[in-house]
């Protein structure tokens, strides 16, 4: 993206603001759940731009809720311990020792880093874990995976109280069952469940791809808008394949359960959140209820 200096190019600056204005008006007061992950979590510059985007969303009256994972960071700490990561269908096998590392990294490191980045701009964010006030209840996803969980319930009370205090909730994806057993939960799953429970206007997933591609080998084949029934058809004909299948089916399910729209955007693009929310073009794929796209 070509940058400009508003002092020497004021007309462009005005045009950008005017393009954003109707979107700001439309989404003021709306809950937007943002799943933070991928390269944006490990690239310091992208991390900083992400924080700026979330703070701007908050400042113009939106209600962002950030859900984060931390797979690369967990893998890094396990490697430091000399422990090799094992994956089944893209999910990390989590024994008791790995679970302790995941809790330490997600709650103690990543959550703190995200909250600190947001709070550089003032008292903006509050860090939460799925185990706080039983925010996330969970059960084992598959015995083969150990302490990897799937969401069985979301208690939105703590999230709503945080939003009522005009703060951004930042949620680490550790949950627990009724007996207090903790589980590491996939961040996509948590973000979708939280968005459904809140009746969010939007769920935005930061990924390391441009969005949904008609041809995975052609970045120019981005599908900018897709309806929920089209998702099923694209899975059936093989256009959506591999790891995109559960992600896209999850997007369609979230919309069926009350989320206004779901957006898959390229977190490698600086300010991807603002570009998707406040410009006419957008930068990713929008999944919407069948019928005219919202």
For residue 174, pLDDT over 60 is answered with yes
The 10 Å Cβ neighbour count of residue 138 is 28
Across the range 130-145, mean pLDDT stands at: 95
Give CA–CA dist 246/241, Å, rounded: 9
The 10 Å Cβ neighbour count of residue 257 is 13
Query: Percentage of the chain with pLDDT > 70?
Result: 94
List the structure tokens of 120. Answer: 């550089």
For residue 255, pLDDT over 80 is answered with yes
Residue 29 CA neighbour count, 13 Å, CB half: 2
Cβ contact 260:237 at 8 Å:
no
Across the range 95-102, mean pLDDT stands at: 95
Give CA–CA dist 37/234, Å, rounded: 25
Across the range 178-202, mean pLDDT stands at: 96
Across the range 3-9, mean pLDDT stands at: 53
Q: Where along the chain do its domains lie?
A: 64-187
pLDDT of residue 8: 55
Across the range 54-71, mean pLDDT stands at: 96
CATH architecture of 64-187: 3-Layer(aba) Sandwich (3.40)
Does the model's pTM come out above 0.75?
yes
Give CA–CA dist 178/49, Å, rounded: 38
Average pLDDT, the chain: 90
Residues 6+ apart with CB under 8 A from 125: 66, 114, 115, 118, 119, 167, 168, 169, 170
Cβ contact 190:172 at 8 Å:
no
Closest CA to 175 of 114, 134, 115: 134
pLDDT of residue 9: 58
For residue 7, pLDDT over 70 is answered with no
What is the enclosing helix (H) or strand (E) of 99? Answer: helix 96-103
Give CA–CA dist 139/176, Å, rounded: 7
Q: Is 206 helix (H, G, I), strand (E, B) or coil?
A: strand
Residue reference for tokens 């794929």? 285
């Amino acid at each position: 993206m070509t940058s400009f200096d508003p002092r020497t190019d004021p007309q462009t600056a005005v045009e950008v603001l005017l393009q954003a204005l109707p979107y700001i008006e439309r989404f003021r007061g709306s809950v937007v759940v943002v799943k933070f992950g991928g390269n944006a979590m490990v690239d310091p510059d992208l991390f900083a731009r992400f924080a700026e985007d979330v703070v701007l969303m908050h400042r113009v009256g939106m209600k962002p809720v950030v859900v984060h994972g931390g797979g690369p960071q967990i893998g890094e700490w396990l490697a430091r311990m000399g422990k090799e990561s094992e994956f089944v269908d893209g999910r990390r096998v989590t024994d008791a020792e790995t679970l302790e590392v995941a809790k330490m990294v997600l709650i103690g490191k990543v959550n703190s880093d995200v909250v600190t980045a947001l709070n550089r701009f003032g008292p903006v964010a509050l860090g939460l874990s799925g185990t706080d006030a039983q925010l996330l209840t969970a059960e084992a996803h598959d015995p083969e995976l150990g302490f990897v969980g799937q969401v069985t319930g979301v208690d939105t009370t703590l999230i709503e109280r945080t939003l009522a205090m005009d703060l951004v909730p930042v949620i680490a994806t550790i949950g627990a069952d009724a007996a207090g057993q903790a589980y590491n939960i996939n961040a996509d799953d948590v973000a979708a469940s939280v968005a459904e429970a809140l009746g969010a206007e939007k769920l935005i997933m930061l990924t390391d791809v441009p969005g949904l591609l008609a041809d995975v080998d052609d970045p120019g084949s981005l599908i900018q808008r897709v309806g929920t029934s089209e998702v099923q058809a694209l899975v059936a004909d093989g256009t959506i394949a591999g790891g995109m299948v559960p992600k896209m089916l999850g997007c369609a399910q979230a919309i069926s359960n009350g989320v206004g729209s779901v957006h898959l955007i390229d977190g490698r693009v600086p300010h991807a959140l603002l570009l998707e929310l406040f410009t006419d073009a957008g930068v990713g794929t929008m999944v919407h209820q069948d019928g005219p796209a919202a």
